[in-house]
Copies of this chain bind each other. A is one copy, B any other.
């Protein structure tokens, strides 16, 4: 082997040493966390291609194609970590797997055009099950006007893994990165937050009941909205289209997949600004508040750290305030400040609490 180690070191010593080490001195992925890991492994990912306008570090990469640019984003969902097939119907899963990728494209202020779908499935899956999953994928493609153009279907020893890459396009001057926010910009969010997290809590609770008593029917009535937020989220194409009509181009934007705190910190870091986020401005649905109460959870925690809402978080120049102030689907939740002031939650009583990126850290999950 010309470029790597000699053949004599193949076998188990390598594997034992590197992948199954029980040596607690070694830095584990869990201890590093998702963002730490990404930072570590992408250090070497310095673009060499002149066409790579933006590499790692935003909602999507941006690639130069002359008049137009292409944006590319990828997401992976694994069974037992991102979804539980005990209560997630495969059609919903397929739909959601597409939508979470489209959401990243919209977060660049671009239009999604094509997707590729890679699937690893256990051989125990019936054809009917795979077709159900693809029914959801096709439905999302149809609704968002996106083409499924390729992918790979392979087997796995255990579990289901779905990996989707979405391609979009935009004029270069339309693109919105995470890095354009300036002090005094308005911090805005579409829709409402925390619902997807509480929908998940509800499904998990009913699943626990079901495991003890399989005759029991799950009690889901009256919580359609938060269940839908969890099981069938939508990407905010409508918001991006509304920007065009209103003549708005946000100064920065990101979609909310990991929770509001984490996403605000991404904007602040990329834009080198601070922010004031007003606790009492954060939009939450009635069902979200009800379910939070039932679980004795502060709904604010669900909004800040819950994740999976797939709303758009963006900043606008103050001058754009009139354009959005009557839009029932957009809420001003704060404003950006100088970097030195940090990213803070302004509590109802006026106290400043520094935002922490708790997020939805899968790598810390058992």
Contacts and interface: CB of A to CB of B under 8 A. Distances in A.
Interface of A: 1-5, 7-12, 14-15, 18-21, 26-30, 32, 34, 37-38, 40-42, 44-45, 47-49, 51-52, 54-56, 60-61, 63, 65-68, 70, 72-82, 85-87, 89-92, 95, 113-114, 116-121, 123-132, 134, 138-139, 141-142, 145-159, 161, 163, 165, 167, 169, 203, 206-207, 210, 214, 217-218, 220-221, 224, 227-228, 231-232, 362-363, 365-366
B19 A85 contact: yes
A86 to B, nearest CB: 6
A82 B76 CA distance: 18
A52 B147 contact: yes
Contacts of A116: 61, 72-74, 165
Contacts of A52: 113-114, 147, 149
Nearest to A211: B12
A4 B90 contact: no
Given A74-B165, A363-B155, A49 B126 contact: no
Given A29-B126, A126-B21, A149-B47, A4 B92 contact: yes
Contact of A11 (B14, B86, B147): B86
Given A52-B149, A81-B120, 11 more contacts: A21-B128, A41-B131, A44-B134, A52-B147, A63-B167, A66-B68, A76-B163, A79-B157, A82-B154, A154-B363, A155-B365
A65 B70 contact: yes
A140 to B, nearest CB: 10
Contact of A114 (B72, B141, B366): B72
Nearest to A138: B44
Contacts of A363: 123, 153-155
17 contacts: A3-B139, A10-B203, A11-B87, A19-B125, A41-B153, A42-B148, A49-B145, A54-B149, A61-B149, A63-B114, A74-B152, A76-B154, A78-B157, A82-B154, A118-B118, A123-B363, A155-B363
Most chain B CB inside 10 Å of its own CB: which residue of A30, A32, A82, A163:
A163
B32 A161 contact: no
A26 B86 contact: no
